[in-house]
């Protein structure tokens, strides 16, 4: 009969009840090939009668100083890893690197900042990949406090003292703007990420320069650099800060196209924004690219499958994920920083203006 428990059962309790050495019990659960079959059966029967399920793997891993798992932390909800095309592609790259190394992945996520801090501090991992879509500074702070290796992705302009894998946001955005200007477009609109938490609507330079989220700011600066190279007055380019959901994009398209001088080309800060915008434009009776050209950003797989296929600035998302994991697995105590190249992929969503 199972004995009353006043404390967690230990190996020593099983050894005492089975009449064997504690090392024998340890071998039964950890290295069973070293123990004769009849002894294994006896020890396991005694353990089952006591209600002992085996050594706590957390304790063994912590004693070893390595748990062979990588934490992937973000302030987005867990559904982000499965619903967002960028996150899914990033996870594919991280999974490939972990599979090759025989390591595991642990998703660490919470929209509640206090719970996120607890999740980061309590995760059993060897290091973290910080997916800094939002709250990048907060994630970096939590990573520092945990005192484990970490590498940031999608942070925008990270501190030089931390490991980061990413792209030149301005250079990528400039490619998109120059492509449209080279086609002959002179009236533009920009669909931006939110520059500060939960905000949506038209923005000017004051809001851009004070942006909490660096990626949006850097991409706007890149768009402006590309347009100015063709003599376009960027002060006249309307920018609408969106929340990357249909309702917000509908408001942005209404703002841009209910004006007296609507754009002939749209610079969308992500492929998802661009794909939603194409659908909204169609609902308004505007054809892409006959009436409006549009360029996305990221190069997610869905961009090639849209109607029309989306012109985009493709970043090596999966490769960023792979290299981020490898940075943790081969951590040498020094900051590791890489800027990977982007590519303009021209498809059917852009054409010269009518």
- Cα separation, 61 vs 59, in Å, equals 5
Place of tokens 């301005």: 170
- pLDDT at 1 (0 to 100): 43
Pairing of strands 69-74, 104-109: parallel
Distances (CA, A) of 105 to 169, 248, 271: 27, 34, 26
- pLDDT at 63 (0 to 100): 54
Q: Which of 105, 90, 145, 63 is nearest to 329 (CA)?
A: 105
**CA max distance for the chain:** 90
The mean pLDDT values, 10 residues at a time, for the chain of 354 residues are 61 90 85 88 89 68 70 89 94 96 89 78 89 78 87 79 93 98 98 89 94 91 98 97 94 96 97 98 97 98 97 97 95 93 98 96
- pLDDT at 121 (0 to 100): 84
The DSSP bridge partners found for residue 201 are: 241
- pLDDT at 213 (0 to 100): 85
3-state SS assignment for residue 190: strand
Phi and psi angles of residue 34, each rounded to the nearest 5 degrees, phi first: -85, -5
- Cα separation, 75 vs 112, in Å, equals 8
234 within 8 A of 228, measured Cβ to Cβ: yes
Distances (CA, A) of 31 to 24, 26, 39, 220: 9, 8, 13, 59
- Cα separation, 255 vs 82, in Å, equals 31
- pLDDT at 91 (0 to 100): 96
- Cα separation, 161 vs 268, in Å, equals 31
Phi and psi angles of residue 192, each rounded to the nearest 5 degrees, phi first: -105, 155
| Cβ neighbours for 213, distance < 8 A, ≥ 6 positions apart | 134, 136, 156, 193, 194, 195, 196
- Cα separation, 282 vs 253, in Å, equals 11
Distances (CA, A) of 316 to 17, 168, 340: 58, 12, 7
- pLDDT at 268 (0 to 100): 98
Q: Where are the beta strands (DSSP E) in 182-334?
A: 188-192, 201-203, 239-241, 265-268, 293-298, 311-314
- pLDDT at 275 (0 to 100): 98
Ordered structural domains, the chain, with CATH: 11-55 (1.10.260), 67-167+318-340 (3.40.50.2300), 169-315 (3.40.50.2300)
Paired tokens of 250: 């509908």
């Amino acid at each position: 009969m199972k004995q009353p428990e006043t404390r967690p059962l230990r190996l020593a309790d099983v050894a005492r009840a089975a009449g064997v050495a504690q090392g024998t019990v340890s071998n039964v659960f950890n290295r069973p090939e070293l123990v004769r079959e009849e002894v294994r059966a006896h020890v396991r029967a005694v353990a089952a009668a006591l209600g002992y399920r085996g050594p706590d793997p957390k304790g063994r891993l912590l004693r070893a100083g390595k748990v062979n798992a990588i934490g992937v932390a973000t302030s987005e909800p867990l559904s982000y890893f499965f619903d967002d095309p960028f996150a899914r592609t990033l996870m594919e790259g991280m999974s490939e690197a972990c599979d090759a190394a025989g390591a595991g992945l642990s998703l660490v996520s919470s929209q509640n900042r206090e719970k996120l801090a607890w999740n980061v501090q309590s995760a059993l991992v060897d290091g973290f990949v910080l997916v800094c879509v939002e709250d990048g500074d907060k994630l970096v702070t939590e990573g520092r406090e945990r005192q484990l290796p970490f590498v940031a992705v999608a942070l925008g302009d990270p501190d030089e003292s931390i490991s980061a894998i990413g792209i030149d946001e301005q250079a990528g955005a400039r490619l998109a703007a120059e492509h449209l200007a080279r086609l002959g477009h002179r009236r533009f609109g920009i669909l931006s990420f939110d520059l500060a938490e939960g905000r949506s609507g038209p923005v000017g330079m004051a809001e851009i320069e004070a942006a909490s989220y660096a990626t949006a700011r850097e991409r706007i600066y890149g768009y402006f650099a590309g347009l100015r190279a063709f003599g376009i007055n960027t002060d006249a380019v309307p920018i609408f800060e969106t929340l990357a959901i249909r309702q917000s994009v509908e408001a942005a398209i209404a703002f841009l196209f209910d004006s007296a001088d609507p754009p002939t080309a749209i610079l969308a800060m992500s492929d998802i924004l661009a794909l939603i915008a194409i659908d909204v434009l169609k609902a308004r009776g505007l054809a892409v690219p006959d009436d409006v050209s549009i360029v996305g950003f990221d190069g997610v797989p869905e961009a090639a499958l849209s109607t029309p296929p989306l012109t985009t600035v493709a970043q090596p998302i999966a490769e960023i994920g792979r290299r981020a994991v490898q940075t943790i697995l081969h951590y040498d105590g020094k900051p590791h920083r890489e800027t990977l190249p982007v590519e303009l992929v021209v498809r059917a969503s852009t054409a010269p203006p009518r």
